[in-house]
Amino acid sequence: MQIHVVQSGDSVYSIANSYGTTADALTEANELETPSELVIGQSLVIPIVGQFYFVQPGDSLYSIGQQFGIPYQELANINNLSVDQPLSVGFRLYIPEQPKPTIEVNAYVEPTGETVSETLENSARKNAPYLTYLAPFNYRITREGDLIAPPLDDFAAIATANNATQMLVVTNLEEGEFSADLGRIIVTDENVQNNLLDNIVTTAQQVGYQDVHFDFEFLPPENKEDYNNFLRKAKQRLENEGLLMSTALAPKTSATQEGEWYEAHDYAAHGEIADFVVLMTYEWGYSGGPAMAVSPINPVREVVEYALTEMPANKIMLGQNLYGYDWTLPYEPGGDYAQAISPQQAIALARENNVAIEYDQEAQAPFFFYTDAEGNQHEVWFEDARSIQTKFDLIKELNLRGISYWKLGLAFPQNWLLLQDNFTIRKSE
C-alpha cells in the first residue's frame, strides 16, 4: 500500500494514474462518498502491491535501499537501472513488498441498548477477518459477583466464522461509571471473588470465550496489591480451565505516577501475571478536555517505553483509537463536551466546510478548523493513514505483541487496509 496526501489540483484520476492503479480502485479502497470532491490534506491509501517512492534531493540508490531495507543492487535491478545511474528529483522508484511481522489484533465492540444495532454488527462482520480477538464490551459485575451480560446477538457466530478468539471483558462499571467502591469489593471480598470466577468460567464455557479480560479502572490506590492478588488468584483458576487472561492498563510513564486512574495499576505485576495487557494509549485529547490529538505519538511512545521496563514486548498490545473529536471553541472547563466522530466523518466535515486538512508533525495527527452555520469555530482532531502508519511503525520498531482498537462501529477504511499491508495477523488455532 501507498499513502498519498491530496494536493491542490489532484483528482482521483490523476492520483490513480501516478501510481498505476484505477480511479475505481482508489474510490473503493478509501470508501470515497464524493470522489470528485477530494479535500486538500486528505490522506488516501493507494491499493497497490508494494509502493512507489519519489526521489528526494540528496537521495541515492544506496540511501533509499537503506531506508527500505533493500540492497541497492536489488533496487536498481527491480527498476531496470544501472547501479551508477544518477537519480533525478521526482523520479519514481518501485519498492517491492517487504516481509511482514506477525501480530495479534483486538477490537472492542460496545453494544448499547437491548440489542446490537445493525451498523455495529455489520462493522464487526466487516472487520473480523482482521482480528485475533473480538471483545464485546462489557460484562458488568454486581456487588455479589454476578455478571450482567451485554447484548451479544451474532458476535459469537461472527468470531467463529472468521477464526477470531472471543474475549470476555469484565469491568467495575456501575450505573455508567467506573466505580472505585465496586472495584474495592471485588478485589478484597473473597466470597465475591469466588462467585465471580465461577460465573466467569461458566459464561466462558457457555458462550465460547477463550480469553478473560479484566478492565478495572479507578480502583482506590490502597487496593493496588489487593488487585494484584486477585489477578494471581484469577490467573490460576482460569489457567486450570484452559483460558487466557489479559488486563487493560492506564497509560503510565512511571511506577510512581500519581492520579486515581493510575495508582492501582501495577505494570510489573500485570506483566508477570497476565498473558498479555492492553495499554490504553489514547485520550490525551478527550471529550471533556481542550482540543488536541487523541493519541499523539510522543506520549504514546513514552508509555510503551516505560511498559517495556516492566514486562516483555510480547505481552504488550498498543491501544489505538478509531475516532477523533470535534470541539466547539473556545474550550471552557466544564462546558460542552466534544463530539466523537469517525475519520470518515471528519473528512466529510472538512469537505462540507471547504477547509483543508492540516497535519501536526510533532503529534503525528491530522486536524483542521471550521466555522459552523451559527458562527461557532470548531477544532477537529482525528486519525488518518499517516497517523496510523506511525503507530504501526512503533509496533514494528519495538516488536510489540500487537494492537487493540477502541472501538468498532466507526468508519476508518484506511486503517484496515494498512493493517493488512503491514502485518500478518495471527488467528486462533
Catalytic annotation, residues:
217
> Which H/E stretch holds residue 339?
strand 339-341
Q: Does residue 348 contact residue 33 with C-beta atoms inside 8 Å? A: yes
Q: Is the dihedral of CA 231, 235, 237, 242 positive or negative?
A: positive
What is the C-alpha separation between 146 and 116, in angstroms, rounded? 22
Q: Does residue 147 contact residue 181 with C-beta atoms inside 8 Å? A: no
Q: Among 211, 212, 180, which residue's Cα sits nearest to residue 196?
A: 212
Q: Is the dihedral of CA 205, 216, 298, 276 positive or negative?
A: negative
CA separation (Å) from 178 to 174, 342, 364? Answer: 6, 25, 31
Q: Among 119, 140, 120, 257, which residue's Cα sits nearest to residue 203?
A: 140
Contacts of 424 (CB under 8 A, 6+ apart): 100, 101, 102, 103
